[in-house]
A and B are shown apart, each in its own frame.
Chain A
Amino acid sequence: GAGVSQTPSNKVTEKGKYVELRCDPISGHTALYWYRQSLGQGPEFLIYFQGTGAADDSGLPNDRFFAVRPEGSVSTLKIQRTERGDSAVYLCASSSAGGASTDTQYFGPGTRLTVL
């Protein structure tokens, strides 16, 4: 079946604007993750959903960042009052089987966010 998809693939915005990034996980996957990858760095964990609820949001950098998954499938990462430092590739991943520690996380291609 289809893999994890993310839209848009690229987003350019101005400082102070609001943006939404969308993730469509693999069908049937109950666990969904968001990571942020800055230039030259490895991905950094932001938030993890199990079903509709955020099971761990300890990686969100501040209260400008928020994510939802209202029906337990598609997720939206929302960033308010964007700053130039938010520029990065935002990665989404999903996994099956209740999100056990050893479940494989399947990653989407990412959304490249540029804040001017």
Chain B
Amino acid sequence: AQSVTQLGSHVSVSEGALVLLRCNYSSSVPPYLFWYVQYPNQGLQLLLKYTTGATLVKGINGFEAEFKKSETSFHLTKPSAHMSDAAEYFCAVGPLLQGAQKLVFGQGTRLTINP
């Protein structure tokens, strides 16, 4: 089975500061990893995903994440926070097998940006 742990249900940073949202996963096979963002009253939107190849993945809105197999981590970062980044962020691990489409999500991290 696969699982995801997001460390910190709430993260607060100042505008312009570094954003770091932590995600660790458990998987017995090479995982596919995703970060989604959820703005109030909106659906989940894909920020970025790792499947194979380059371990540093760049996404939308200046976010990036690095897959570290040795640490079973896929932390999300952004060099400079903007007020519009305030939202709920979910890390997810993809299916184990081709044809099995379940995404397993972490519990989410609510990001607050202080002016």
Contact = CB atoms under 8 A, between A and B. Distances in A.
Interface in B59-115: 90, 92, 94-95, 97-108
21 contacts: A40-B9, A42-B90, A42-B105, A43-B44, A44-B105, A45-B103, A45-B104, A55-B99, A91-B44, A95-B101, A99-B101, A101-B32, A101-B51, A101-B95, A101-B101, A102-B49, A102-B94, A104-B46, A105-B46, A106-B46, A107-B43
- List of 4 A-B pairs having minimum Cβ-Cβ separation, nearest first: A42-B105, A107-B43, A107-B44, A45-B102
A109 B105 contact: no
A113 B43 CA distance: 15
Interface residues of A, number: 30
A62 B100 CA distance: 20
A104 B49 contact: yes
A64 B45 CA distance: 30
B42 interface: yes
Interface string A80-116: 0000000000010101000111101111111000000
B40 to A, nearest CB: 10
Interface of A: 3-4, 31, 33, 35, 40-45, 48, 55-56, 58-59, 91, 93, 95, 99-102, 104-110
B28 interface: no
Given A42-B92, A42-B106, A107 B45 contact: yes
A4 B42 CA distance: 11
A109 B41 contact: yes
Contacts of A99: 99, 101
